[in-house]
């Protein structure tokens, strides 16, 4: 694809609907310019076209905001890992795209609620494939062993469409 959209990472269907809307608008403009006399007699498509463009734009923006994992595989932590809160843990990942495409820096985030909300661990981390993370302590009740599931993700800073999210893993803290 050539043009201003060639650098963006828009899904095929979203781009198709956007282009279809642009095509409809352009044909509508040609029709108006050829038939200025009959313009008032025809039902204008203006509101429908504006709505179509807005929905297409919204669809494309939503795709980029909530994009699924793409290009990054989280090697550690995985579902089998049990990590103690407060300890250091080596996070490992593999970025599939070339460094020229992916970038040299990543952001690492974690979630305490299965991926609904995220907290930054560190920004501007070298894309080396590993990072030593100090695991946050989990909330605990007196004299009880508490476990909590976390997720971790790694995101390219130059092209955030490249990201990877870990499976749920267990963080536990034993209270004595």
Q: What is the pLDDT of residues 80-108, one digit of tens each?
A: 899 988 899 999 999 998 888 899 999 99
Q: In a 10 Å sphere around its CB, with 0-12 CB exposed, 13-18 middle and 19+ buried, how is residue 150 labelled? A: buried
Name the domain count of the chain. 2
Residue 77 sits in the same domain as residue 50: no
Residue 77 sits in the same domain as residue 143: yes
Residue 35 sits in the same domain as residue 84: no
Domain range for residue 53? 4-65
Residue 27 sits in the same domain as residue 99: no
CATH number for 106: 2.60.40.2840
Reported pTM: 0.59
Q: What is the pLDDT of residues 129-170, one digit of tens each?
A: 999 999 988 776 655 556 688 999 999 999 999 999 999 999
Residue 107 sits in the same domain as residue 135: yes
pLDDT for the residue numbered 61 = 45
Residue 33 sits in the same domain as residue 49: yes
């Amino acid at each position: 694809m050539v043009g201003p959209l060639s650098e963006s990472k828009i899904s095929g269907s979203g781009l198709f609907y956007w282009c279809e809307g642009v095509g409809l608008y352009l044909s509508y403009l040609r029709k108006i310019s050829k038939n200025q006399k009959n313009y008032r007699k025809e039902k204008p498509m203006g509101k429908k076209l504006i709505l179509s463009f807005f929905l297409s734009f919204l669809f494309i923006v939503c795709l980029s905001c909530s994009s699924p994992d793409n290009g990054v595989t989280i090697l550690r932590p995985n579902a089998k890992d049990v990590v103690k809160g407060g300890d250091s843990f080596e996070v490992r990942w593999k970025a599939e795209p070339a460094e020229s495409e992916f970038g040299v820096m990543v952001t690492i985030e974690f979630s305490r609620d299965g991926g609904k909300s995220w907290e930054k661990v560190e920004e501007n981390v070298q894309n080396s494939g590993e990072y030593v993370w100090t695991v946050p302590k989990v909330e605990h009740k007196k004299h009880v062993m508490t476990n909590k599931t976390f997720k971790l993700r790694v995101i390219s800073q130059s092209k955030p469409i490249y990201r990877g999210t870990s499976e749920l893993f267990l963080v536990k803290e034993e209270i004595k």
